[in-house]
């Protein structure tokens, strides 16, 4: 039987990612990327980043780990990894040159206006734009890498002894697994060296995301664990909310993506409790489907893949080429990303070859 709560939590989280990127694109907190905010004063709308960033990507890796376990129970390892490569690695590599170079154009347009690319051959510019257009594709690239690691892990636990042992975990041990969440954040480089790969490691965070991915596979794929969580969804949500309020009240204004911020005990506590609370809540209250939920279950991945072009193109145009007030820019960009992204996805998935390159379909 399909677990609709997992599908629902996944596509709801994807929609939250879209909204996060609207806020992120105009943030003034020093977060890498985007186009910058509206002055140096407080932008209270940026609180959305503090609410979402600590948990929404970790929970996607947890769900991916759960789904990997279920898929490998129905398919051979070879079939599963072949499908994962098509769905993840193809969009994360070939898709850059077919589609995401357009995102890269907006990422490099400022440098072009400042004359950085003067005299650079067009072909070289194209490759630069392609690689700078990775954007949210870091997620599929890291996920493919973790799937590769999982193949080795499965060899080490070929008889499922560790998996069966993890299924016996109670609520208290599950909450204490937040220590592993904290330990993962400590793998970030606190003082990244300029012009090195340190910043790239901190951006991709493969060692950190390996932890929730394997937790999903070994722990949260058990029906018993899911049932235990669902029974305490309300206390978990309340505790997560309290920790989040304290975190935001004491840190608002800081770069919430810096290694120091991410590795702080309070950020890790909030992030982990939110992961548990969201899974518990959706298991308890949203384990059903309908027409819209069914559509989003099938389409959310593709919408995620293409949405940042809308963010970059519309967001850049509004900020650079209009004199609209900030509130209008946020409103227009929000409407654009939630309407144009599905339209763009529906268009691409109907184009042979292109849909394979961009969506892995």
Task: State yes or no: pLDDT of 111 exceeds 60.
Answer: no
Tens-place pLDDT, residues 286-309: 999 999 999 999 999 999 999 999
Tens-place pLDDT, residues 191-213: 888 767 777 788 889 999 999 99
Cβ neighbours for 258, distance < 8 A, ≥ 6 positions apart:
30
**% of the chain exceeding 70 in pLDDT:** 97
Per-residue model confidence (pLDDT) at position 110: 56
CB 131 within 8 A of CB 104: yes
Per-residue model confidence (pLDDT) at position 227: 97
CB 115 within 8 A of CB 325: no
How many CB atoms are located within 10 Å of the residue 350 CB? Answer: 9
* Closest residue by Cα to residue 81 from 162, 152, 158: 152
What is the 3-state composition of the chain as percent helix, strand, coil, each rounded to the nearest 5? 75, 0, 25
How many CB atoms are located within 10 Å of the residue 78 CB? Answer: 9
Residue predicted with more confidence, 214 or 124: 214
Q: Phi and psi of 190, rounded to 5°?
A: -65, -35
Task: State yes or no: pLDDT of 116 exceeds 60.
Answer: no
Residue 3 CA, distance from chain mean position: 21
Per-residue model confidence (pLDDT) at position 68: 97
Task: State yes or no: pLDDT of 350 exceeds 60.
Answer: yes
Per-residue model confidence (pLDDT) at position 163: 95
Per-residue model confidence (pLDDT) at position 109: 73
DSSP 40: S
For Cα atoms 208, 211, 215, give the angle at the middle one, nearest 5 degrees.
Answer: 155
Tens-place pLDDT, residues 97-110: 999 999 988 877 75
Pairwise CA distance, residues 198 & 194, whole Å: 8
How many H helices and E strands in the chain? 20, 0
Tens-place pLDDT, residues 246-279: 999 999 999 999 999 999 999 999 999 999 999 9
Q: How confident is the model at residue 223 (pLDDT cuts 50, 70, 90)?
A: very high
Q: How confident is the model at residue 93 (pLDDT cuts 50, 70, 90)?
A: very high
- As a whole number, the mean pLDDT across the chain is 93
Q: How confident is the model at residue 317 (pLDDT cuts 50, 70, 90)?
A: very high
User: What does the block give as tokens for 224?
Assistant: 């018993």
Per-residue model confidence (pLDDT) at position 42: 84
């Amino acid at each position: 039987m399909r677990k609709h709560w997992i599908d629902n939590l996944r596509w709801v989280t994807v929609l939250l990612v879209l909204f996060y990127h609207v806020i992120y694109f105009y943030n003034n907190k020093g977060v890498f990327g985007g186009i910058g905010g509206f002055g140096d004063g407080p932008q209270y709308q940026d609180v959305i980043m503090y609410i979402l960033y600590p948990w929404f990507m970790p929970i996607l890796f947890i769900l991916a780990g759960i789904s990997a376990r279920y898929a490998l129970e129905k398919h051979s390892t070879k079939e599963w990894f072949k499908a994962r490569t098509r769905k993840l690695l193809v969009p994360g590599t070939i898709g850059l040159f077919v589609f995401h170079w357009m995102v890269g154009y907006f990422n490099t347009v400022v440098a072009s206006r400042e004359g950085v690319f003067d005299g650079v051959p067009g072909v070289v510019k194209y490759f630069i734009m392609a690689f700078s257009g990775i954007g949210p594709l870091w997620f599929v690239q890291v996920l493919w890498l973790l799937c590769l690691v999982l193949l080795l892990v499965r060899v080490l636990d070929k008889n499922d002894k560790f998996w069966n042992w993890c299924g016996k975990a109670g609520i208290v041990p599950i909450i204490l697994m937040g220590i592993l969440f904290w330990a993962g954040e400590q793998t970030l480089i606190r003082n990244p060296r300029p012009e090195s790969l340190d910043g790239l490691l901190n951006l991709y965070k493969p060692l950190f995301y390996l932890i929730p991915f394997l937790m999903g596979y070994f722990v949260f794929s058990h029906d018993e664990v899911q049932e235990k969580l669902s029974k305490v969804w309300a206390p978990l949500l309340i505790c997560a909310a309290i920790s989040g309020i304290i975190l935001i009240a004491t840190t608002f204004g800081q770069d919430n993506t810096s290694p120091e911020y991410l590795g702080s005990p309070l950020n890790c506590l909030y992030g982990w409790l939110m992961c548990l609370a969201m899974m518990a809540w959706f298991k308890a209250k949203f384990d059903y489907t309908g027409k819209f939920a069914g559509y989003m279950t099938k389409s959310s991945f593709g919408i995620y893949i293409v949405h940042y072009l809308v963010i970059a193109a519309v967001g850049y145009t509004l900020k650079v080429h209009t004199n609209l007030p900030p509130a209008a820019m946020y409103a227009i960009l929000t409407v654009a990303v939630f309407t144009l992204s599905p339209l763009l996805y529906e268009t691409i998935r109907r184009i042979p070859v292109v849909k394979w390159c961009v969506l892995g379909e």
